[in-house]
Amino acid sequence: MSTDAASGDDDLKERVTNFLRRNFPQIQMHGGSAAIQNLDRESGEVTIMLGGACSGCGISPMTIQAIKSRMVKEIPEIEMVHAETGMGGGGGHEESMSPSFPGESSGEEADSDEGPQAPF
């Protein structure tokens, strides 16, 4: 039976990898990478680490959100997706990964220096 479980895990891992390649080719096209850090078939949880150019990319939070919302819809065995770039302190704090938009402030962070805002 353990070979069946291992085979099922390999199949699920392959489907997750193919999902990332198929749905997010721009990650590799822009010098980034996406790797499965952990896959727990029993709980339906997967952890994805975005690296390379994704680590400093301003739109990586939106890429992460797209991965999270699409993967659970397309792969029924996946119930929860954890994804990070390694820039959030390594603790998986999703709050630090939220995108910001010009003119938007989050209250306590209003005085922080986030750099220049986009001209659009």
Torsion of CA 36, 61, 77, 14, to 10 degrees: -30
Tally helices (H) and strands (E) across the chain: 3, 3
pLDDT tens digits for 3-16? Answer: 555 677 789 999 99
- Least confident range of 14-28, 68-82, 86-100: 86-100
Tell me: the pLDDT tens digits for 94-105? 433 334 334 444
Residue 48: phi and psi, rounded to 5, are: -110, 135
Q: What residue segments make up the domains of the chain, in order of their start?
A: 27-95
Spatial distance between the Cα atoms of 12 and 44, rounded to a whole number of angstroms: 10
The topology (CATH level 3) of 27-95 is GMP Synthetase; Chain A, domain 3 (3.30.300)
Cα(first)–Cα(last) distance of the chain, in Å?
Answer: 57
